Structure formats: structure tokens, C-alpha cells
Amino acid sequence: MRIGVDARFLVEEKTGVETYFHELLSRLIRLGGDEEYVLFRGDSLTPDLPPGRWRVVGAGGRAWSWGLTAKLSGEGLDLFYSPVTAFPLAGAPRSIVTIHDLSWHHTPSSYSSLERARQRRWTALAARHADGIVVVSESTGKDLAALHPAAAGKMTTISPGADDACFSSVPASEVQRVRDRYGLKGRYLLALASFHPRKNLPGLVEAYDRFRARGPERIQLLLAGRGGSDSARVLARIARSPFRGDILLSGYVPREDLAALYAAAELFVLVSHYEGFGIPALEAMARGTPVLVSDLPVFREVCGEAAIRVAPDDPDAVAEGIGASIRDTPERSARIEAGIRRAHGYRWEDSATRLKDFFRRVEGGAS
């Protein structure tokens, strides 16, 4: 089977969507078989992938969709796979898209009117015209089926995973290197998120202030992630914090530093207004780091009782959750062990196998 792939998201600096795509595609290639992957990119750069049956086709042009459509018909494809919601409306016999979340629908104020319209259009087109739809969680699937009932019959859930390295210990020398690099002097809380309104980082800073005001112990807060449309608001809120000297901004964190950052953190915090999955929470659990998350359906699904869940819009509740999460109690130890067990249930290899099976079902005319 020859599978065309929208490979624009094979990039060096990876956030959730890019990580999901790179990890799955790498494992699909390693699985072998008779599948050949034709990677369509806007440039001709060779992506960092394992050896196997794949090749790159440049599909540039004045607009991505025009350049892509012009290339598809000459490649003899059986199927086209998109790691996002957008997909070619012509040129491929069958198409599979990926819907990571419906944040544009659930947190509309986080997006411009133009971006909401674009997301709304592509989601509706996928529900009507795509032959298969991958969702990253059962929660996202339920959201999509409620919005577009026609999508329910062609969906499958293929979640992100944790690889073997996530469960291994991190050498003390590596932890110290990362501590030195990011200015971490002692105990710290870790938040890994882009500076986007739905990530609720100003709310987290407010909760951190209230947590610190309740006790004398110094615990730093590391906000790790790329800047975004909420950067000005986040920076303004940090500037007003009486504990701003202990709030650290790292910018984008390369993958090679994440293991030590997770492992050494007192607590990983993700109190978003909405998430489609939340890969960092899974990775933190795999590392044996306690997790504090929003009380959202997706985190009940992914984290279960391994995490303390709080109302993201209640800074007092978040502050209390931080305090409860870092106290050295039997309950904390039990949550850590539960988190490791839950993380073992999400493996990239299993997800890649399910995706490969889905390719075959859709190519054969059944989703």
C-alpha cells in the first residue's frame, strides 16, 4: 500500500502535534510491511526518521494545498494520511485525518475569529468527506461526535504514548546539568505548555502566588514552553507577582532536557481550560513525578486517580492542590505508583500498530 503523508509537521522543535506525528510515523516505518510512505513537504529537507520504505516529495507552491494536489495524482497513492484536520479534497482515493482537540469550539476566546472559522471549516469537511478520522482520546471523540454525528461511524482512538526511555532513571549528573542550565536551585514545580490562552498560565501564576503566601518554604516555578499569543498577559502577570524572582521562563525545552526536568520536579502542573490529551502529563507520570491537572474529562480518562484534579478557574483550589500534591504522604506515593502503571498502558508501539490496522481497514473500504 502506498500512503501519502502530510509531512510538514516533521520539525525540530516539537510540541504536542509534532511529537505525536513524529513518534507514530517513526514506529510505523520500523514496523515494516508492504506499506510505502510518500512524505509531502513544502521543502525538500530530509526529516529525521529511521531507515525504511519512505521518501520525500516536495510539494511547494504559492499555497500548500495547490502544490500538494498537483503532486498527488502522479504518485499512485492508495491512501492519504494527515496528522492534522486539514487534508487534500482532491487527488487521493481515500483520506484519513487526525483531530487532536476541539479547543477552538470549547475555548473560543482563545482564538481569533479567522482561526476559529478555519478550524470549524476543516472539522466539518473532515466529518463529511474524510474516509477515516483519528482522535487522540475518547474524550475528543465524544466531543467530535456531539458536534458532528456523521463522524462517529468513521472514528478510531489512537492515543499518544510513552516510550521505554520514559520509565528509566535519570543519572544524577544529568539532573545537575539540567538544573544548572535552567537555574533550578532547589525544589520546583514544572509547567510545560505553550503560552496560549487555553493553557491558563496567568491563572497558574496566581495560584502559585497564593500557595507561596501560605508557607515560608521556597519552591520555584518553571514555565517551560514556547511563547505564543498569550505571552504578553503571562509576562504581565509574572511582573506583578511578589515571588517573580522564583518564576523561571525557559523558552522551548529540547527533548534531551525533558527527562531530567520531569524527574527532578516536585510536581508537574497542567491546569488548562481544555486539552485533547495532554502528552506532558503522561510523560510526567511515566517518570514518577506527581501530577496536578484540571478536572476535565480527558484527564479523568488519561490520569484517573493518579493525579489530583482541580477546577482550573479557582486559584485557591489550584493552590491547595499544589500543597496536597507535594506533601510527603502515603497518598502521594500511591498516586506516583498509579501514574507509572497508567503510563505503561499508553505505548507508542501499540498506537502505531493500531494506526497501521486502521490504514488497512480504510484502504479496504471499511472504517
Rounded Cα–Cα distance for residues 296 and 311 (Å):
8
Count, residues in the chain: 367
The CA radius of gyration of the chain, in Å to the nearest whole number, is: 21
CA distances to 14, 151, 158 from 122, rounded to whole Å, are: 23, 13, 20
Per-residue cell: 56: 520525500
pLDDT at 69: 74
| Consecutive H or E run containing 239 | helix 231-239
pLDDT at 60: 64
* Alpha-helix runs per DSSP H in 96-158: 103-106, 113-129, 138-147
Spell out the residues 6+ positions from residue 275 whose beta carbon is closer than 8 angstroms to its own.
101, 103, 294, 296, 298, 299
CA distances to 96, 180, 200, 367 from 361, rounded to whole Å, are: 11, 50, 39, 6
- Walk me through the domains of the chain, giving residue ranges and CATH numbers: 2-161+347-363 (3.40.50.2000), 164-344 (3.40.50.2000)
Residue 290 CA from chain centroid, whole number: 18
Question: What digits encode the pLDDT tens for the residues 118-174?
Answer: 999 999 999 999 999 999 999 999 999 999 999 999 999 999 999 888 898 999 999
Rounded Cα–Cα distance for residues 214 and 259 (Å):
30
Please state whether the predicted TM-score (pTM) of the whole model is above 0.75. Answer: yes
Cα angle for residues 11, 50, 168 (degrees, 5° grid): 85
Report the SS3 class of residue 328: coil
In this structure, is the dihedral angle defined by the CA atoms of residues 214, 313, 195 and 135, taken in order, positive or negative?
positive
pLDDT at 350: 96
Those residues of the chain that have pLDDT short of 50 are 62-63
pLDDT at 66: 55
